[in-house]
Amino acid sequence: LLEKFGITSAAYFLRIIMDGIPPSKDKHLFIKDLRFEKVEVRMYQPKISTAGQRRGVLYFHGGVGWLGSIRAYERICRYFARKTNSVVVSVGYRLAPEHPYPTQFEDCLTATIHFMRTAQDYGVDSSRIIVCGDSSGGTLAAAVAQALVNRRDVPKLRAQILIYPFLQAADFNLPSYQQNEGVPILSKERTLILGLKYLNKDLSALNSILKGSHIPEELRLKYQKWLSPDNIPHEFKSRGYMPSTIQPYSEELHAFTKPFLEPVFSPLLSEDSVIAQLPETFILTCEYDVLRDDGLLYKKRLEDHGIKVTLCHLQEGFHGTIFLAVYGKILSFQSGIKGLQKIT
């Protein structure tokens, strides 16, 4: 309504809401704003003394590339720094539409490489650096991890932590999309609307993309081995699942959605040669989340290549439960509290 009356944009309004009220000063942490080359970051360093170097965690916030901020994720980053005695770097990547995709990925990659090269300056062991993110931040963490596998000028990542990540835009009819299509906070339709806005694309093709008309036959066959519902354990289909029928392919739609299928946007669609080199992985999924099966399918792909994966599935969880968990009793749910503990 505010946007229709010309008062403010939906993005600006939602950013203010998401930022919320900043927490008070933290007596357990040194907190400072820095710039890693052109990227704004906030570093959280525990005040407690330690005999050796700490692990480092780069945190990429969620928000579909056009929401979220360092301030919005202040509580989460403080929590992880305190509870794990780690140096946490919250990356303030630039947001769309002011800074078009893939600026967000480029900023996260730049900040990661800078931190890896300067880790010792902050008391961090460069062999114990982790990338972590939730929702679209999980997409960014996965994409950064993939971009680093063939780099020889920086240390290897120790691990990646992906919290209910979005990992593919090829199939919006997986069991979790069918079972949770109307579940808040992230419905099936809303997922694609946000993705189209992130890429600054028109919404007119929404229904055709949801039906899969953007995937040509040769890619459908290629993706089948990675995206097949057969790769999802049977217990995750118990709430119901109907295999989708193949829709007529549109070459025009495929050209329109080409960025959707790039590994930066859809890390699950990366080639085997990249997947096989990824570090140890922790994936958190929620039962009542359209993105649940993205995490489950990525787990299988990684394990098929011998990568160690820890899965935390929150049976009562929903998309966003980790973000809410640090806001105290009023907003937190047991699923989010359990998830935070497992990540720690």
Neighbours of 104 (CB within 10 A): 27
pLDDT level of residue 172 (50, 70, 90 thresholds): very high
Q: Alpha-carbon distance 254 to 308, whole Å?
A: 34
CA torsion, ordered 205, 207, 209, 212, to nearest 10 deg: -140
What is the pLDDT averaged over residues 260-282?
98
- Distance (Å, rounded) from C-alpha 227 to C-alpha 221? 10
pLDDT at 265 over 80: yes
Considering its fold, how many domains does the chain have in total? 1
Residue 21 has pLDDT above 90, yes or no: no
Tell me the β-bridge partners of 92.
40
Min mean pLDDT across 152-166, 178-192, 277-291, 320-334 is at 320-334
Residue 253 inside a domain? The answer is yes
Each residue of 232-243: pLDDT tens digit? 999 999 999 999
- Is residue 15 situated within a structural domain? no
pLDDT of residue 204: 93
CA angle 194/100/266 to nearest 5° reads 55
Cα separations (Å) of 164 from 184, 286, 321, 332?
Answer: 14, 7, 10, 17
Checking if the pLDDT of 62 tops 90, the result is: yes
Query: Where does the pLDDT of residue 17 fall: very low under 50, low under 70, confident under 90, or very high at 90 and above?
Result: confident
Please count the other Cβ atoms lying within 10 Å of the Cβ belonging to residue 105.
Answer: 21
The pLDDT score that the predictor gives to residue 246 is 82
Q: Report the chain's mean pLDDT, rounded to a whole number.
A: 95
> Above 90 in pLDDT, residue 87?
yes
Model confidence at 10: pLDDT above 80: no
Predicted local confidence at residue 31, as pLDDT = 97
Please indicate, yes or no, if residue 147 is contained in any of the structural domains.
no
What is the SS3 assignment for 172? coil
Q: Within its chain, how far is the Cα of 199 from the centroid?
A: 16
Over 80: is that where the pLDDT of 11 sits? no
**How far apart are the C-alpha atoms of 185 and 288, rounded to whole Å?**
10
Q: Greatest CA span in the chain, whole angstroms?
A: 62
In a domain, 94, yes or no: no
Question: Which SS3 state, helix, strand or coil, does residue 34 take?
Answer: strand
322 pLDDT more than 80: yes
By annotation, the residues acting in catalysis are 135, 289, 319
b vs e for 9-18, b when ≥16 Cβ sit within 10 Å of the residue's Cβ? eebeeebeeb
Whether omega for the bond prior to residue 185 falls within 30 degrees of 0, making it cis, is yes
> Residue 200 falls within a domain, yes or no?
yes
Residue 318 has pLDDT above 90, yes or no: yes
What mean pLDDT is predicted for residues 224-251? 94
For the segment 246-272, the average pLDDT, to the nearest whole number, is 96
Task: Measure the CA–CA gap between 162 and 140, rounded to whole angstroms.
Answer: 9
Average pLDDT over residues 22-29: 88
- The answer to the question of residue 281 being in a domain is yes
- Segment 209-220 mean pLDDT: 96
pLDDT of residue 57: 98
In this prediction, residue 330 has a pLDDT band, given cuts at 50, 70 and 90, of: confident
Which pLDDT tens digit goes with each residue over 88-117? 999 999 999 999 999 999 999 999 999 999
Residue 198 in domain: yes
- Whether residue 300 lies inside any domain: the answer is yes
Best CA proximity match to 197, nearest among 69, 31, 9, 16: 9
Mean pLDDT of the region 55-78: 96
Radius of gyration of the chain from its Cα atoms, rounded to whole angstroms: 20
CA-nearest of 95, 94, 118, 145 to 43 is: 118
Which domain covers residue 268, as residue numbers? 164-343
* pTM confidence score: 0.95
Q: Is the per-residue pLDDT at 272 higher than 90?
A: yes
Q: Is the pLDDT reported for residue 25 higher than 90?
A: no
Q: Which two tokens stand for residue 106?
A: 């480029």
Could you give the CA distance from residue 342 to residue 344 in angstroms, rounded to a whole number?
5
Report yes or no: 24 and 41 within 8 Å, Cβ to Cβ.
no
With a cut of 80, say whether residue 315 has pLDDT above it: yes
In this predicted structure, what is the pLDDT of residue 7?
Answer: 75
Rounded CA gap, 310 and 262, in Å?
A: 26
**Cβ count within 10 A of residue 112:** 27
Full DSSP string of 60-117: E--STTTS--TTTTHHHHHHHHHHHT-EEEEEEPPPTTTS-TTHHHHHHHHHHHHHHH
pLDDT tier for residue 14 given thresholds of 50, 70 and 90: confident
Side chain identity at 173, as an amino acid letter? N
- What is the pLDDT confidence band of residue 15, given thresholds at 50, 70 and 90? confident
Phi, psi dihedral angles at 285 (to 5 degrees): -125, 160
